[in-house]
Structures are given as structure tokens and as C-alpha cells.
Structure 1
Amino acid sequence: MGFILLFDLSNEQSFLNIRNWLTQLSTHAYCENPDIILCGNKVDLEDSRMITEERAREVAEKHGLPYFETSAATGHNVAKAIECLLDMVMLRAERSVDKSIFNRSKNRQGYEVDEASSEGGCGC
């Protein structure tokens, strides 16, 4: 229900692909604005780094994404990034449940119906 968009901090082309990957996610995702976090991976390879944190944060801010610098090798910030994405997904789920509660009422037969629906039939 959410996406971790990961690029390699030591690979310029990987960083440049972010825009294309975001387009693919918005085209094929389950909803119009999916929950996405951006992670620059391989932060442990400081000598090979090609993408500065400032540059990566600018791209993340431009697209409205949380940004984390991670390392799969050391585990640096991996749990923090996943927790952030889970919080985003859970918040979306809670808002969705709240909306469905407010948009439901009972018809004359006592069945729940979705008031937003043009059909106006049974809620099953």
C-alpha cells in the first residue's frame, strides 16, 4: 500500500531516474497519490558518493516526499524509513475508514447504503 523509492547515492543515473520512477508509480499505483518515501541508499560508501544530501533533499521536497539516507549494508535509517512509510499508510487507511463511516446511512429496509454512490442500493 506504499512505496519506497530507492536510488543509489553512488550512481548519478540512478538519481536521475527518480522522476521516471515517480511517473511509473503514479501511472500504475492503486490510487492517484500513493504514499511514497524517497531513500538514498549506500550512505555507508562515503568515498563513492556522487549525490549530496542537499541535492537529494531538494528533489524530495520538490515532489513532497519524505527523504532518508539509508544503508542496506549497515542498516542505517532502514527501520526509520519503513516506520515513516507505515505511519503514512496507516494514516491514509484511518482517513479512508473515517470517510466511509460518514458516507454511510441506512435505507428504509435497514441496510447500509453509500450516500456517495449514484446507485443508492444495498451496501453489499
Structure 2
Amino acid sequence: MSTPSARTIGPIGAVYLRCYPFDTWEMASHQAAIRAFARTRGYWDPEVFLDNGRRSGVALPQLDALSALVGAGWCEVVFVPGLWVFSVDDGDARATAERLKRLGGRVEEVPDPRRAARSRPLLRSGTG
């Protein structure tokens, strides 16, 4: 029996999160927001890869595992709340996103709902 391809089971996406210090709730609010956003993009239940309690300058085993899946063609998009999850250093964060792209995936940042709310025009009631 062959392994199902992405074409037969739908697009495969993942969520990557990193938190320092350790988060007992495993970034539950981030997970919920990112999964909701992923559904709007056609990715129903993305797998979560969480390096919990890890600084950006140390080994990140979940990011390594996710990178391997992207490189093997099993994951086409990685959803993140921002590139900061890869590293607190902007250059390193961008380099990680580029590496995932070179491996065959893409990184999608979830829009910040607070930023979207601030950019909406004010609505005025009444006509006068």
C-alpha cells in the first residue's frame, strides 16, 4: 500500500511556536488563533511543533523535525505568529524562514488582530 500524497489528503500545513521561558499552557491562545487562520487558508488541522522553554540560541528539536518534514515534501506551509518564533535576532529569524523556503515550504505569518483593528477606518453612525 502506498503512502497517501498531499493531493489525496489535502494540503499539509504546520504551526511552529517557540516560547521562553517554559509556558505551562503551551501557548494555547497562539495555537487557537493560528489554527483558525490556517483553516481560512484551507489547512484544516495543522500539526503543532512547539519548542517550549527553549531560547532561540540553543538546539530547537521541534524546528529541526519540522524542517526535515518540509524538506521531505510532507509539509508545504508553516504558520507562525511572527518570525520572532525562530529567533529573537531578526537576521537569524529571516534566515530560518529562507531556509524553510529553500527546503520547499513557505512561511505564513498570521496577521496580528490588534494591528488589523487599528488600521480599520472609524465608522460613524447617523447621516447628519
Structure 1 and Structure 2 fold alike (TM over 0.5): no
User: TM (normalized to structure 2)?
Assistant: 0.33
Structure with bigger gyration radius: 1
Structure with the larger RCO, 1 or 2 (CA within 8 Å, 6+ apart): 2
